[in-house]
Amino acid sequence: MILIGAFCFAPSVHFFAVRQKENIRWFENVAVVFVLLFFSVASTFLGVNVFRASVERDARRYAEEALHRLFVEDDTVFLLEEATALWKNNPYGNLRITQVMTQKYIRLGYVENTRVTGMALRSFYEFPATVRYSGIVDGEGFARCGQVLLRLEIHRSVDGWRINGVWWQCLNTRGVPEAGG
């Protein structure tokens, strides 16, 4: 048995010994490894940035639609459908969510010219291979109180973008005429 093993390994040991005697160009081998490593890291960096840019474009499109539907069209059904499970699971249920739209209607009235002015997204990695995004979207519009700062908290998970909060603030208040006379 030992003799058979020796005959099987003898040719490979011989070729290994012959190969060791050859002149090996270490500089070329190391340079090739570093070039491959550099291109691997660079392509990964580029891929992550391209994906992040597409996520930001998607978030901006969603935010533009949400601002229009919530503040211009007063679409409470849209808010109820797009609210996150976390927001829906508050002690007051859907009342807390619809209260936002009621207060908006009473205090702001009709809002026009809504647009997204800024966005801050953060990414969260969840094991094994899930990336979740959360962010604040700032917007502006004009209502009867003047210029209005609009803000949405949005989250993206497997089921797409969802709204987790809505706020607004009148930046410059102009007098609202009293009804009657």
Task: Determine the Cα–Cα distance for residues 83 and 154; give it in Å rounded to an integer.
Answer: 9
Domain extents in the chain: 26-170
Nearest one of 131, 143, 139 to 163, comparing CA atoms: 139
Is residue 3 over pLDDT 90? no
Nearest one of 65, 63, 75, 61 to 105, comparing CA atoms: 75
Q: What is the DSSP string of 80-131?
A: HHHB-HHHHTSTTTHHHHHHHHHHHHHHT-S-EEEEEEEEEEEEEEETTTEE
Identify the residue whose tokens are 């908006």.
104
108-159 pLDDT, tens digit per residue, is 888 899 999 999 999 888 888 788 899 999 999 998 888 999 999 999 977 8
Q: If you average pLDDT over each of 21-25, 95-99, 144-148, which comes out highest?
A: 144-148
Question: How confident is the model over 59-85, as a mean pLDDT?
Answer: 91
Task: Determine the Cα–Cα distance for residues 77 and 88; give it in Å rounded to an integer.
Answer: 13
| Averaged pLDDT of the chain | 81
Task: Determine the Cα–Cα distance for residues 72 and 122; give it in Å rounded to an integer.
Answer: 28
Element holding 17 (H helix, E strand):
helix 2-21
**Residue 158: DSSP 8-state:** T
Question: How confident is the model over 91-99, as a mean pLDDT?
Answer: 80
Task: Determine the Cα–Cα distance for residues 98 and 70; give it in Å rounded to an integer.
Answer: 11
Q: Which CATH number fits domain 26-170: 2.60.40, 2.70.70, 2.60.120, 3.10.450?
A: 3.10.450
